[in-house]
Amino acid sequence: MLKGSIPAIITPFRKGEVDYDDFSKLLNWQIKNGISGVTVCGTTGESPTLTHDEHMKLIEYAIKIVKKRVPVIAGTGSNSTQEAIEFTKHAFKAGADYGLAVTPYYNKPNQQGLINHFKIIAKSTPLKQIIYNIPGRSIVDLSLDSFKELNKISNIVAIKDASNDISRPLLMRTFMKKDFNYLSGEDGTIAGFLAQGGHGCITVAGNVAPKLTSELHKSWNQKQWKKFDKINLQLAPLSKVLFQEPNPTPTKYALSLMGFCTEEVRAPLIA
């Protein structure tokens, strides 16, 4: 099962191009500091501004660098079902451990449309699927009834929930598969999600503080409540400041100060 701190890794740029040297350095540092997995080409990785070739090469490169030390979650989502299928097939062929498919943005499908979208993607390959529910960015929200239907699909194994609704893990535990993974998609909700039966977080703060975010989950799993509370309080200001401007602009700035990459982002974001 997926547990713990799973950073949604930024995509380093230098003079407009993907910087694979910085990407490699960042991945190795993350693993050295105890992360439980890595997500590549997600929102924090600026996937909307990556070309298809860049997107696929980044996933292939991450799998090569990680070398099975931790699971690799490949961002495979799109508001085009066919495009999401293409990304999913590529991720499966490349050797990713999971595909992360976001709820379709802009199109605003109804619940049946959402169900069909995820069913078709899941059936396109045997790759384990994580549904990414983020109403704030996609304007659509996968309902509990819809997920009851999707829960019947064998290779839909997890959800990354960025709804900020900490009641959802508890409600979903009433029907979800025994080995299903419930992951927070918002650093500020980690404690609430874990307390309600969640397993971990696909984190933004983990980019900057991988050791601390990993220790946060480790202390929870070891029932070291005072340590957990102390670390959670330490991370709270960081989580807040990393969303003062559009993600991942503050994260890249922080990492640039730490010597891991430039602060460069792609338009329409500005550094």
From the list 3, 98, 128, 160, the catalytic residue is: 160
From the list 3, 98, 128, 132, the catalytic residue is: 132
- 119 is an active site residue: no
Residue-wise over 175-212: b if at least 16 C-beta within 10 A, else e?
Answer: ebeeebbbbbbbbbbbbbbbebebbbbbbbbbbbbbeb
At CB < 8 A and 24+ separation, what contacts does 215-221 make? 215/34, 216/5, 216/190, 217/3, 217/4, 217/5, 217/36, 217/190, 218/4, 218/34, 220/194, 221/3, 221/4
- 64 is an active site residue: no
CB 111 within 8 A of CB 78: no
- State the catalytic residues: 132, 160
